Amino acid sequence: MHFDLIFMLNKIHSCSVIGLSSELVEVESDVTRGMFRFSVVGLPDAAVSESRDRVFSAIKNSGLTFPRQRVTVNLAPADLKKEGPAYDLPIALSLLSTTGQLGFDTKEKLFVGELSLKGEVRPVNGVLSIAIEAKRKGFMELFVPEENAKEAALVRGLKVYPVTNLLGLKDHLEGMNFITPVAPLNLKNLETNTLYEVDLACVHGQEHVKRALEIAAAGGHNILMNGPPGSGKTLLARSFPSILPKMTLIEALEVTRIYSVSGLLPKDKPLILERPFRAPHHTASGVSLVGGGAYPKPGEISLAHRGVLFLDEFPEFSRNVLENLRQPLEDGVITISRAQGSMSFPAKFTLVAAMNPCPCGYLSDPERPCVCSPSEIIRYQKRISGPLLDRIDLHLEVPRVKYEKLASEELAESSALVRERVQKARTIQEERFKNSQQKKRIIANGEMGNTEIRRFCVSDSTSRALLKNAVESFHLSARSYYRILRLARTIADLEAAEQIKSEYIAEALQYRQHES
């Protein structure tokens, strides 16, 4: 078939994922007389440029006709970089519409999807962000790959159509063989009982560490465990998710959005309900930890958002890599700047770090001698900077577990019981901060700023005197002072106390690293 007429251009709407947000993209095509050439303009990356071959084969193998003339596809706005294969489907629809093989009303419809050479529609990343943007821009119908349909259905007010192949979508748009839209998901039915890898009941001894983990879970505080090899630091860290409170719906949507953009959303879980637990190896690069790349993507700290970032063998990480944590630990967000602009990703995670006291690991062990020289010990401990240590709320010594504890058949307190206390404390905090005027939503004591600390961390005269003496005696920094108050506020919440008492201050001080 030859197309000797120039048809009216139709704009097909699609979306570009930029960081965690999306921006509307208009796809239009033009077919004119001349030698066969198929070009895509509008700052496409390699994946978008390669869509020419996918679209050509998909149209041909679907029994449709690809114009053997001069074909130009424009992705507008032209100054916005386009990446990924999600434009395959709207490009194919634009060509079919321009050549008169498909006629439909393009208003209030948005399309995304990758095409196979047979014309099947494959899943793409970032569909939740796309659905949110479609709803915000007033679109009524969203056409996505079948595997992404449940994810898009998390956004209410949209008709989400699961598309399996190009020919089936063409029939639907022409009024034949309609595609049934996905029913809006009932989020209450998505709640499941989580099976945790490790339960606190299986950890023998280390009661003081378990107490600290409970405080950290209740208030979202960072924790560092220091002890000899085999003392249980890794086991304790891996049991930490079992005592964390359940995620709220808003938190779950935040986490799901990050994993969707990263291409890590499980196929059978349109909504992530379990708090993330990320444990990168100590050889991880700075980009893998904080995110980045030519088209910036979330790193490990963003994948741990609202969950746990576990850094085992803490000093073995490159110092330059660890220094990248300083800003997100303070602000709960990481900003990645590139020549073409900046992107921000959320990074409100609980840091759980574990380390040995020296290279051989036995400096603090009374039963095994340390074989490290003083210079080796100093050099090893200096791998972690003072400002980074100052951002960690709970510093713990984890000693070797005695034989009597290891051989005991008596089970310790289960994670379920600890989680109940943590959940009650977190509920108190949610009620406390629900009317917060801060731009950033606060859900836990560990996220409080100085304004909230002055408002909510009310203590008696005895507590203030104790804290003053500690600041002067241990030469605590201003950051340490405020972190002690936040920690004491969490301890008070676990006791359901309105006011911070001196014993809460005293316990919080035990967890601080004292400065010389």
pLDDT tens-place string over residues 56-98: 999 999 999 999 999 999 999 998 889 999 999 999 999 999 9
Q: What was the pLDDT predicted at 509?
A: 93
Q: What is the pTM for the complete model shown?
A: 0.91
Phi, psi angle pair for 21, to nearest 5°: -105, 180
Which residues are within 8 A (CB) of 449 and not within 5 positions of it... i.e. 6 or more apart? 438
Instruction: Give the pLDDT mean for 283-295.
Output: 89
Q: Going along 227-359, which residue ranges are E strands?
A: 277-278, 291-292, 297-298, 308-311, 333-338, 341-346, 350-355
Query: Burial level of 279, CB count in 10 A (0-12/13-18/19+)?
Result: middle
| 301, two tokens | 């700290």
Helix (H) or strand (E) holding 74: strand 70-76
44-67 per-position pLDDT tens digit: 988 888 999 999 999 999 999 999
If DSSP states are collapsed to H, E and C, what string results for 107-162? CCEEECCEECCCCEEECCCCHHHHHHHHHHCCCCEEEEEHHHHHHHCCCCCCEEEE
Q: What was the pLDDT predicted at 294?
A: 77
How many C-beta neighbours within 10 Å does residue 371 have? 12
Structural domains in the chain?
Answer: 12-173 (3.30.230.10), 200-410 (3.40.50.300)
| 25, two tokens | 């993209």
Which residue, chain included where needed, has tokens 């190896």? 281
Radius of gyration of the chain (CA): 28
Q: What was the pLDDT predicted at 397?
A: 93
Which amino acid belongs to residue 4?
D
Residue 43 has pLDDT above 50, yes or no: yes
107-138 per-position pLDDT tens digit: 999 999 999 999 999 999 999 999 999 999 99
Q: What was the pLDDT predicted at 391?
A: 92
Share of the chain above pLDDT 90, in %: 71
Q: What was the pLDDT predicted at 292?
A: 85
Give the Cα separation of 13 and 18 in Å (integer): 16
